[in-house]
Amino acid sequence: MASNMESARFLIESRMRDAACGDAQARYDLGVAYSCGTSGVGIDLIEAHKWFNLAALAGSEEGQHCRAEIAEEMTAREIAEAQRMARAWLSQTSRRAA
């Protein structure tokens, strides 16, 4: 039987794979995980903003809403870092897909 940590890691890894394929819900789910500290990940607002931003770019209205909400708790520097990370992630996944 898998431990909670193993099943949480599997959930995150499967959501990452789906997110790389453009799945807006997977991206949103990752944002929720990082904003709430669920699925075995610690709370990381920069990482959460990145995933909500990527979800919004994929058409998720929930992602847009959560990105705006979480941005209120972040500094301008943290938001800029999250945006940089989102651009880097998109660049990496588009190269792998090509």
Digit-coded pLDDT (tens) for 5-49: 777 788 889 999 999 999 999 999 999 999 999 888 899 999 999
Residues spanned by the domain of 88: 4-97
- The per-residue DSSP string of 52-89 comes to HHHHHHTT-HHHHHHHHHHHTTS-HHHHHHHHHHHHHH
Percentage above 70 pLDDT, the chain: 94
Query: Would you state the pLDDT for residue 97?
Result: 54
Structural domains of the chain, count: 1
Closest CA to 56 of 67, 71, 41: 67
